[in-house]
Amino acid sequence: MKITNESEYEQASERADELWSAKKGTPEENELQELLKAIKAYEDDFIKMLRNSDDVL
């Protein structure tokens, strides 16, 4: 799963909130883990972009 824009990020965050109390070993817990990985990757990419734009200025 890859998040490519703000809308997808918001949807993924909302879904993660819904799944936050998923029981271990369930499909919902697996979905939550994948969402959290994708959210973190998107946030990391966003931070890199911000840092790079600061370097340009």
CA angle (40 as vertex; 25, 46 as ends), nearest 5: 165
Between 44 and 57, the higher pLDDT residue: 44
Q: What digits encode the pLDDT tens for the residues 7-49?
A: 999 999 999 999 999 999 999 999 999 999 999 999 999 999 8
CA angle (45 as vertex; 42, 47 as ends), nearest 5: 110
Burial class (CB in 10 A: 0-12, 13-18, 19+), 29: middle
Q: pTM of the full predicted structure?
A: 0.86
